[in-house]
Chains A and B, each alone.
Chain A
Amino acid sequence: VKPPDRPAANVELRIAAPLFRQIEQELRDGPRDAFEGERAGFLLCGVARLNDRTVLLARVWRAIPTHKRLHVAGYGLSWTADHNAAILDEADAANAVPVLVHRHDPRWVIGFSHLDRLAGDQLLSSLSRLVGGRIAGSVVLNDREAEGLFWENGALSGGLAELRSVGVPILRRGRAESRSSKVRPRLHRQTLAIGPEADAALTSTCIAVVGLSGGGSHVVQQVAHQGFGAVILIDDETVEETNRGRLVGSLHTDDGRLKTKVMRRLIKGIDPSIRVVEVPHRTSEPAGIEALKQADIVVACVDRFRDRAQISDLCRRYLIPLIDVGMTIRSDGGRLVQATGQVTLTLPGAPCLRCTPLVSDAVLAKEEREQPPGYDQNQYATGAPQVVSMNGLVASQAANLALAVATGYTSRQELNEGGWWQYDALEGRLDFTALSVRRPHCPGCAQDGHGDPVV
């Protein structure tokens, strides 16, 4: 029987780096049974429907236990049907979809074997019917590449575009031929510093910047120079005269213009080939949420802790690295008494922003009392003190981290857990603290990989 044509590669499988490392190790070195065969397991995943692809977001890994394995002549691995039923029950309870993952010898050409297809197509096709309108898939990987097939309602519906391990850096595996080796002359000096592979990684990375004022405008300018391929600009405000003391790229003629328009002009002036998406909305609005989930990296430069918590929750749902930027300046009669800032990198599978004291429940409750719903519509709400050059320092650190996540230019081990950089402008210090502790029962981490809402 002639196998069906390879379906369109329209599905991404996204896995937090710590979980991906665990899966790779188990598939390579996991406990062997009496048959010495292959190892495999199921990922239970949330689903995100993006503009150009479907993303399956790994939530839980269930290796096939040795006591469920069967010996079937000719097959590297078989297991009992009741194990499939248990996986299906767990997927149903979690509103998740099952993806079977197994590994092939890296010396082989990547792809499913005839026997993989014979047994796998039947199993995954059935599972996709049983999970009620959701997806089921099968992925095979080796040390460098990955291939996958996906079914919906019993029919083959798509192929694997990319398997993505989200950490520092974001690692992408697909078929080797799909990789680009383009190097842009305008990035010559940066390429000398961090290598030609960085250019391809940057070209294929979409970064969202939320909040386009004192911090965000600096970040936008730098990520455009760094060579990110696409920038999503999220801010519902227009430029006012009082913004121009800190809004990089603004002109005296910009008053009344949307900040997204000003940032588009800034980016296109640097490199017209960068794809720019303007989103003149808040991230708490439907259009803002829809835009944010398209990003590979999010940089949040917003004032309110409530907004930070919500952006963090969205990044957790879609397994997106988040870089949060903030600056607090206090003065006493025109004299600076405090000028501190922080840049926080949080990564899927590691502590989230709500695990840190920065966005604790107490901080959110205090802000809620001071700024209840409707506070934004108060015309007398005033802005906090800001200094452009101090904003610029924390924004540069945020841009450094975005570069690290996209390209992996630094191999600093602590970054895998995320980190918190505290800046004291009066002391002239930038100090690093590792984020090593997850908060018990964290409401942000509880949404890891949930993807699109089911309600």
Chain B
Amino acid sequence: LTGEERAAVVAALDTSFGPATDVSPAEDQPLHVLLKALALPAPWTRLTRGLLRFADWPQTRPDFFIDHGVVNDQGQPPRSFSDEVVLGASWRRFSFAFPWDPADPDPVTALQMWLARFREAT
């Protein structure tokens, strides 16, 4: 991604999901975008930070991570997760399949697809 393309991705996410920041560790590294307050559907904790990592964009969908604190009414986290260290911090990542078309890469659609995972109650 060029500098302009990175800025465009961050701007699109910022417009659709609230404050978004480029937190990539270096210019030659994959784009990492931090979303400071992402709303999740019930029954999950309403607000979380989100992190998108565009490791092989646009051939592959971005990886998506959320805070550890996301739980349902019973205090349980969404199932099928792994904890992962990204940029020195612990984030939570999930298994979730959705179709991805590299010919039509849209970061906003990608994140909406990821958020669909949290419509499941477990």
Contacts and interface: CB of A to CB of B under 8 A. Distances in A.
Interface residues of A, number: 28
A374 interface: yes
A453 B23 CA distance: 10
A314 B84 CA distance: 12
B99 interface: no
Contact of A450 (B25, B28, B81, B82): B25
A313 interface: yes
Given A373-B95, A374-B79, A455 B84 contact: no
Interface residues of B, number: 25
A286 B92 CA distance: 11
Contacts of B79: 374, 377
B74 interface: no
A63 interface: no
B25 A374 contact: no
A213 interface: no
Contact of B28 (A286, A441, A451, A454): A441
A447 B82 contact: no
Given A285-B90, A286-B90, A375 B82 contact: yes
B103 interface: no
Contacts, number: 72
A322 B94 CA distance: 28
B80 A282 contact: no
Contacts of B95: 372-374
Interface in A414-455: 441, 443, 446-447, 450-455
A259 interface: no
A100 to B, nearest CB: 25
B1 to A, nearest CB: 13
B83 A285 contact: yes
A288 B23 CA distance: 23
A52 interface: no
Nearest to A313: B85
Contact of A455 (B26, B68, B83, B89): B89
A283 interface: yes
A148 B83 CA distance: 39
B30 interface: yes
A238 to B, nearest CB: 19
Given A374-B95, A455-B89, A446 B83 contact: no
Contacts of A310: 84-85
Q: Tell which of A285, A288, A452, A453 has the most Cβ of chain B within 10 Å.
A: A453
B28 A446 contact: yes
Contacts of A317: 88
A286 B67 CA distance: 11
Report the 8 A-B pairs with minimum CB-CB distance, sorted nearest first.
Answer: A374-B80, A373-B82, A453-B88, A284-B83, A310-B85, A453-B89, A446-B26, A372-B95
